[in-house]
């Protein structure tokens, strides 16, 4: 955040916040003080006050769970790679402290929701939980993500299931070149529209990822498009994915539900029973279709949840289940383990908060 002095024309930035997001800033009536919230990869959102006269900052809250050692948390690195067509794809990369070229780790491509969302820096307890258990995580801003210009945002219009998905495959290839990731143990995970991307990746590129985790993701774009809630931005949906009256064949072609028989890699699906955005029926039908085709899928339904996990007990249960699933498919068994070993001192279990 940059602060401008309208009288002198000078500008300044708040000291000590180069790695954090600043929002909700408010000046005092006197103009002497500035209150604001700031958060970072290792810092949940806290309230601060800056005094312009003394040039001092006071933190008023401490949101980090006291059971968590901040030194165990990982600061993400802003990275990018060139996708299949040369387009530059921005990402965030989290690398566990214990990982090195002599200690290769499994990895996850983390796909954000939307369509049109964004993976930005900031405290993400769920991602830190997986990182702290030895997973490299690449937060992918595939084409169509917001915050990178109009051209980048529009680059996915009616191209889902193809170009944005190919960015996910290119992200996996980027991970294999890092030198500390085991190329045979890369999974893909996402929620909401990111969950759709997980299903699409396993259906349309069945050999690319070793496992997938879909959290309340869409599987049938045809039925969803015909039943969009009135409060949704229908035009944005049509621009991004297609008009069900004009583009039903397109929506059918890119819907994983109609290609469920192609899914062969292990899949975990999690769903809120009362989800109004990604209805339970989408997941129920997808699970049934995968099983009819002989695929492997584990399915968890949370009766008292809607879209995502709002209740702490459910979030803890869900991410423990996700970790167990990933460990069973992306980490070698004790008898097979060669290059990876986590000691009791460097494998800290974090609570979600």
- Measured in residues, the chain has a length of 353
CATH of 70-330, one of 3.40.50.1820, 3.30.1360.200, 3.40.50.2300, 3.30.1660.40: 3.40.50.1820
More confident residue, 331 or 336: 331
Tell me the sheet residues that pair with 39.
21
275 is annotated as an active-site residue: yes
From 160, 259, 307, 329, the catalytic residue: 307
Residues in CB range of 5: below 8 A, 6 or more apart? 11, 12
Instruction: Indicate the pLDDT class of residue 13, thresholds 50, 70 and 90.
Output: confident
Question: What's the confidence (pLDDT) of residue 113?
Answer: 93
What would the pLDDT profile of 208-249 be if each residue is shown by its tens digit? 999 999 999 999 999 999 888 777 788 888 888 999 989 999
Cis peptide before 44 (omega within 30 of 0): no
Active site residue 307: yes
What is the CB-side half-sphere exposure of residue 208 using CA atoms within 13 A?
Answer: 23
Per-residue pLDDT at 338 exceeds 50: no
Residue 267 DSSP SS3? strand
Q: What is the rounded CA–CA span in Å between residue 250 and residue 158?
A: 8
Q: Does the pLDDT of residue 154 top 90, yes or no?
A: yes
Taking the C-alpha atoms of residue 210 and residue 199, their distance in angstroms, rounded to an integer, is 13
Each residue's pLDDT tens digit, 260-272: 999 999 999 999 9
pLDDT digits (tens, 9 = 90+) for 117-153: 999 999 999 999 999 999 999 999 999 999 999 999 9
Contacts of 253 (CB under 8 A, 6+ apart): 161
> Does pLDDT of 345 surpass 90?
no
φ/ψ of 26, rounded to 5, equals: -145, 125
Which of the residues 156, 275, 283, 329 is marked catalytic?
A: 275
Q: Which tokens go with 6? A: 């309208």
pTM: 0.88
Report pLDDT for 333: 65
Flag whether pLDDT at 350 surpasses 50: no
From the candidates 145, 192, 255, 283, give the one annotated as an active-site residue: 192
């Amino acid at each position: 955040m940059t602060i401008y002095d309208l009288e002198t024309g000078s500008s300044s930035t708040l000291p000590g916040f180069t790695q954090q997001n600043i929002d909700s800033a408010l000046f005092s009536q006197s103009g002497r003080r500035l209150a604001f919230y700031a958060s970072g990869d290792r810092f949940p959102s806290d309230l601060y006050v800056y005094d312009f006269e003394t040039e001092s900052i006071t933190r008023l809250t401490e949101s980090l769970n006291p059971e968590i050692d901040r030194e165990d948390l990982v600061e993400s690195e802003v990275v990018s790679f060139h996708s299949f067509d040369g387009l530059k794809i921005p990402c965030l990369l989290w690398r566990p402290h214990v990982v090195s070229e002599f200690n290769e780790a499994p990895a996850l491509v983390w796909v954000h929701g939307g369509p049109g969302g964004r993976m930005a820096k900031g405290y993400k307890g769920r991602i830190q939980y997986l990182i702290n258990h030895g997973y490299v995580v690449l937060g992918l801003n595939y084409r169509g993500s917001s915050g990178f210009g109009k051209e980048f945002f529009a680059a996915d219009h009616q191209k889902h299931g193809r170009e944005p998905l190919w960015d996910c495959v290119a992200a996996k290839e980027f991970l294999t070149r890092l030198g500390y990731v085991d190329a045979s143990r890369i999974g893909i995970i996402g929620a909401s529209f990111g969950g759709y991307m997980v299903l699409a990746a396993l259906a349309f590129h069945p050999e690319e990822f070793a496992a997938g985790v879909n959290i309340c993701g869409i599987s049938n774009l045809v039925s969803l498009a015909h039943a969009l809630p009135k409060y949704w931005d229908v035009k944005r949906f049509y621009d991004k994915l297609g008009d069900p009256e004009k583009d039903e064949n397109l929506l059918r072609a890119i819907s994983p539900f109609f290609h469920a028989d192609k899914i062969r890699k292990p899949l975990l699906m999690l769903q809120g029973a009362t989800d109004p955005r990604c209805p339970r029926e989408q997941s129920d039908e997808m699970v049934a279709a995968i099983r009819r085709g002989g695929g492997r899928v584990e399915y968890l339904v949370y009766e008292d949840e809607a879209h995502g996990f709002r209740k702490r007990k459910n979030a803890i249960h869900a991410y423990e289940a996700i970790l167990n699933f990933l460990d069973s498919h992306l980490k070698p068994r004790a008898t097979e383990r060669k290059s990876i070993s986590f000691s009791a001192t460097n494998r800290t279990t974090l609570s979600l908060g």
